[in-house]
Amino acid sequence: MEVWVYGPTPELLAAAWRVGRRVVAFGPDPALAAAALAGGPVAAAVAGRAAASADLILFPTSYEGRDVAGRLAARLGRPLIANGVGLAVEGGEDGDRGAVVVETSIFGGSTIVRTAFRGPKPWLASFRPGSFPRDGAPPPSEVVTVGASHLAGAPRIVARHPAPHGGPALDEAAVVVAGGRGMGSGEAFALVAELARLLGGAPAATRAAVDGGWAPYAWQVGQTGKTVAPDVYLAFGLSGAAQHVVGMRGARHVVAVNRDRSAPIFSVADLGVVGDARGVLARLVTSLEARRRS
């Protein structure tokens, strides 16, 4: 079985080698990746070759990965299984004769659905961060780089919310500062990012905040976002819906601030503060900044 991996990420490379005999990594040069709007040039550049040789194509559930996967699925006329959490080949003696099965979680992570691919190849699937172990992933058999010639003239991405620089990645941070709809406005998420910076952590948001345009998708934690397992998860103004909790339930310690004392987030919090989330957050930022200046 020939498995193609977009990006690639170390964990997806490890997953690809578990089910395939040959692994091909593809995607734009990292320095050029931001130049391709929604991955259109990438999909166009690899569609013909992928359709001819790939059995399975794997994508990370990232901003770029989602867009390239969707465009490639449309171009090839293939379905896409999104937000996977597991991958296996079953029912055969080797990867070429077995059925490729993708596991996805539903109902807030309480139920795992197992879906087997059928029909013409290549098959496409995307996976949430943290779905596979990262260590020990061998390099791909081949690397296909989509270079500047394919990106020439491509539209540029205009990000509404520039991602913070210099801090740890969200799914690797020891401290995560998350904001929800209770923050009240997009301007309040500047405080979320600032507290994350002061604590050496990463900012995060609920889907409601992202859908409202208050925070970028790269910050989203939950069933349709990233899965995190920090030492400390600071939750400001988020209710604690099951779809969000499934993405942060691996946190060692949870501190929640919400004006609603009956908010579900308090049921998973180690420390709960009933109060105005934005006000508490602002006072924390002010206090930490003053301490740094002294």
Is residue 69 in a domain? yes
- pLDDT at position 92: 59
Q: Is the dihedral of CA 249, 253, 257, 263 positive or negative?
A: positive
> How many other CB atoms are there within 10 angstroms of residue 156's CB atom?
9
**Is pTM beyond 0.85 here?**
no
The whole-angstrom separation of Cα 141 and Cα 42 is: 20
Residues 177 and 268 in one domain: yes
List pLDDT tens digits, range 212-258. 889 988 899 988 788 888 999 999 999 999 889 988 988 999 999 99
Mean residue pLDDT across the chain: 82
Residues 69 and 27 in one domain: yes
Shared-domain flag, residues 6 and 132: yes
pLDDT in tens, 231-243: 999 999 999 998 8
Inter-CA distances, 251 with 78, 146, 159, Å: 37, 37, 29
- Cα–Cα dist 42/293, whole Å: 47
Same-domain pairing of 121 and 182: no
Model confidence pLDDT, tens digit, residues 97-117: 578 999 998 776 678 899 999
Strand partners, 111: 106
At which residue do the structure tokens 């942060």 appear? Answer: 248
Residue 101 confidence (pLDDT): 94
Would 241 be classed as within a structural domain? yes
Residue-wise DSSP of 201-227: -EEEE-HHHHHTTSS-GGGBBSTTSB-
pLDDT in tens, 139-148: 888 777 654 3
What's the total number of domains in the chain? Answer: 2
Quick check: is 81 in a domain?
A: yes
Instruction: Tell the residue number behind the tokens 């923050």, with chain if given.
Output: 183
- Is 85 a member of any domain? yes
Residues 125 and 219 in one domain: no
Q: CA torsion 68→74→76→81, rounded to 10°?
A: 70
pLDDT at 118 exceeding the cut of 50: yes
- Give dist(CA 201, CA 232) in Å, integer: 9
8 Å CB contact between 128 and 84: yes
One domain for residues 231 and 128: no
Is residue 165 in some structural domain? no
Residue 26 pLDDT > 60: yes
Domain CATH code at residue 242: 3.40.50.1220
CA–CA dist 152, 145 (Å, integer): 14
- 161, pLDDT greater than 70: no
Judgement on whether residues 244 and 134 belong to the same structural domain of the protein: no
Say yes or no: 56 and 144 in one domain: yes
**44 pLDDT above the threshold of 50:** yes
Residue 163 has pLDDT above 70, yes or no: no
Q: Are residues 88 and 193 in the same domain?
A: no
Domain match, 8 and 42 both: yes
pLDDT attached to residue 40:
57
pLDDT at residue number 98:
73
The reply to whether 178 and 110 lie within a common domain is no
In a domain? residue 162: no
Per the domain annotation, does 163 fall within a domain? Answer: no
137 with 222, same domain? no
Which domain does 233 fall in, by range? 170-293
* pLDDT score recorded for residue 154: 37
The C-alpha R_g of the chain, in whole angstroms, comes to 21
Q: What is the CATH number of the domain that holds 9?
A: 3.40.50.620
Asked if 260 and 276 touch (Cβ cutoff 8 Å), the reply is no
Percent of the chain beyond pLDDT 70? 82
Task: Specify if 18 maps to a domain.
Answer: yes
